[in-house]
Structure 1
Amino acid sequence: MNKRQTRLFAIVGTLLVGLLFLGMTFDTLRQIPKLSNAQDISPEVTLGNKVWHENNCINCHTLFGEGAYYAPDLTKITQLRGEAYLRAYMHDPSKFYDEQKVRRLMPTQNLSDADITGLIAFLDWVSKVDNQGWPPRPLLVSGSSLPGMAAVAPAAADKATGAPGTQATTQADSPIAQGETLFHGASPPCGACHSTAPGVDMAGPSLAGISALAEKAIASGAYKGEAKDAAGFIRESILHPSKYLEPGDMYSAGGTSFMPDTYAQSLTPEQVDHLVAYLSTLK
């Protein structure tokens, strides 16, 4: 290749790459309104965006995996926690920590009800943006992990949720093993809010010793549910989380549990059986 051909190759190549870049840019801009649900940007969402920036939430939290990585990614937080939990948490984060055991990290922002409503609306809008599956899972602080939150291989999660194309050994087919996989792979995953390690309370209480706690609750005079044993109590808690609320707990408000009440629809009866079987082993 002589100098003239080399120069021509460089010029043509640059033009082609430039045209490709412009085409991809135009296509991206064309899809932004649809991908970002721009039509759903309401006055509350706009207010919440303003509250997010005025309180420098980005200095600790992240959206779409971008931010300070000091606190969890909040891209899907409304789907994982729900409005009732978020509203109570934003009003007074100190109620969700045992400051005798751990140092509280989330400051009380003294937000008004209107600001909280707007911020939840903003985060809900963020959660519905088509971000091509990012983040792939709730991101923990600084890439750390908490006891009782072990990751589950995608194939195992597919097996538990009934996805095709997986194979399992006899051990993996056991109800307890499938229940443990569901604990991390259900939608939303139980492990996103609960730990199985003693004393590790998260958005929900630790489930360590749940069988003993269930028997104690049934024996108490405060229990008005229909369960006769620990397994029945656990099943009732999964399908009807507001049926029994521990007196004085911080995981409910106005007689309603912060736990999602959608598992009766998202899980099959067999899957509920598996989850109960696993949780019943947490003596």
Structure 2
Amino acid sequence: MTRNDDIPQEPAPQPDLDAYLARIGWTGERRADADTLRSLHLAHMYGIPFENLDPLGGSAPSLALPDLEAKLVRGGRGGYCYEHNTLLAAVLEAFGFGVTRLAARVVLGAGDAVRPRTHMLLLVEVPGEPGPYVADVGFGAGGALLEAVPLVADTEFEDATRRHRLVHRPHRGPLELWVLQAYEDDAWTDQYAFTLEPYEAPDFEVINWHIATNPRSPFSHLLYVQRTTPDGHLALSGRQLVRTRPDGSRSERELSGHDEIVRVLTADFGIAVPDGQALTAASA
């Protein structure tokens, strides 16, 4: 009888750092420190958009590193949280950071509803730092982190043009519950809640499939695209396009249909839209 741990394991694929760093426009020294973590995080946020074209087309995106690089790095595409943060985790580990994958419950816009833990984020150990950082380049919302922030409660952080803090909330579990808040419209707004229980790649394979294919998942039937730049935040939900400037002012308009959606995805979001991409749910 052969045990699983007796079977030789294939080495994990290593990220193509040159291609990734060129994609996000980052040219710093490759070292594992807090400044590097923050600048990589910000460059990734500015460089690769959030989008759900694969689930909208009826398929769950692959989370295998070579496939992520083919799509997000070389293919002119974006992705959603599992893709972005799986890619970033591989890069950070190659730089020498310690990375733990976590799962969060999105509370933004949930009201009294209790959502499942379906959002992926990262806890990053930085050599020489007293505590870990929270990194997350895959949260498709205007309150997303722009830079990684220390895992410290009740402290306000200015990350690029945004303000965030982490707070504790009481709950029934044995682990402390952390909540990420963003300062929006002159108030602190809860974004998502998480504990520090580690999640593994197979956990996210299951969650990814569920979110991409479940007919009740918004990602499987409505177009969601986000892009953050130094000039502000651009969001497309269905046909509704919202531009938010750094000062908080907004402009909004409805796109006319499929052809205009493709033009906006290409020109404004920098997404190479695949031929035959299903956008009927967004343009119906």
Superposed pair shares fold, TM > 0.5: no
* Higher fraction of helix: 1
TM-score, structure 2 as length reference: 0.29
Q: Answer with 1 or 2: which has the greater Rg.
A: 1
TM-score, structure 1 as length reference: 0.29
* Higher fraction of strand: 2
